[in-house]
Structure 1
Amino acid sequence: MSADATTAPTVTDTPVVDAMKAGGGWNNLWDGLYAMDPSWTEKYMDMAMQPYLSGVIPPKVVQLLCIAVDASATHMYAPGTRRHIQAALDMGVTPEEILEVLKLATIVGIHSCNIGAPILQEEMQARGLWPDSPTSSAD
């Protein structure tokens, strides 16, 4: 059953979303999505919660992975980073372990240097501003 453009879908049973809201794990940026399609949002959140609920990965590791994702240069979501750091500390993760995860997360940003530095060097060489490197190989 689908809703037309003027009628939002109705769902009365969203236990995963309700639990996330009650437990502080809900991101208010998801409110619009939830309002437009609560059924799909419930299914998505149910799937997204599996790492927390399956028990396959220890809860401390799940929190560390969430810190890495939220703090990464491609995401940079401070509220989630804070929430997961608080949860990790509450579970007994040490500040040193969290700091190591944050250090690892910064590695994602190194790709801008991996791409940009060789291009800069090539352009400087083309302008006679960078000496040819004796260790560089031909293309």
Structure 2
Amino acid sequence: MSDTPRIPTPLCEEHIAKGDWNVLWDQMRELDPEFMEAYLAFRSVPHRNGPLPQKVKELIMIAINAATTHLYGPGVRRHIRNALNHGATQDEILEAIQLTTVMGIHACNMAVPILMEEMAAHQAKS
């Protein structure tokens, strides 16, 4: 898109490698790789540090992505996968989704079918 040389983006590569990449970020990375690196550095702090176990962080991310004000299905799917990989149960994930209904039932309408698909895929791998 631009004649500007590509700036190395190690945080972008790290997020892609661990499956925590939103494909919507591809264009921003291309337009302004320095911004993407700064955003990822900021966004990653609570994922690298703090007292909450990674499973709990993933449950919170499910709730954020499923919330009526966000309704971002790909994020729900990514964080359900991550939560399962960190030992979350179907009941724990379902409760995180149910807690978002205080903002509106739409969270369940979108997230529960994704949970069912991801549980089936996770169980098929096991």
TM-score, normalized by the shorter chain, greater than 0.5 = yes
Task: Name the structure 1 match of 2:46.
Answer: 51
Indicate the structure whose relative CO is greater, using CA pairs within 8 Å and at least 6 residues apart. Answer: 2
Q: Deviations over 1:65-115 (max 9, x none)?
A: 1000011111111111111111111211111111111011111127xxxxx
TM-superposed deviation, 1:28: 1.1
Task: Name the structure 2 match of 1:88.
Answer: 83
One-letter amino acid of the structure 1 residue matched with residue 8 of structure 2: D
- The TM-score with structure 1 as length reference comes to 0.68
Equivalent positions of 1:57-72 (< 5 A) are 57-72=52-67
2: CA distance between counterparts of 1:20 and 1:42? 10
TM-superposed deviation, 1:8: 6.1
Task: Name the structure 1 match of 2:93.
Answer: 98
Structure 1 portions without partners, runs of 5+ = 1-5, 111-139
Q: How many residues align?
A: 105
- Asked whether the 8 Å contact 1:14–1:38 carries over to 2, the reply is yes
Give the number of the structure whose residues are more often helix, by fraction: 2
2: CA distance between counterparts of 1:40 and 1:8? 17
TM-superposed deviation, 1:31: 1.3
Change (3 A) 1:47 1:40: same
Task: Name the structure 1 match of 2:110.
Answer: none
2: CA distance between counterparts of 1:14 and 1:85? 26
Task: Name the structure 1 match of 2:19.
Answer: 24
**Aligned-residue RMSD, C-alpha:** 1.9
- Asked whether the 8 Å contact 1:11–1:39 carries over to 2, the reply is no
Q: Which has the larger radius of gyration?
A: 1
Runs (4+) of structure 1 exceeding 2 A deviation are 6-13
In the alignment, structure 1 residue 38 sits paired with structure 2 residue 5: no
- The TM-score with structure 2 as length reference comes to 0.75
1: CA distance between counterparts of 2:29 and 2:5? 10
TM-superposed deviation, 1:13: 2.8
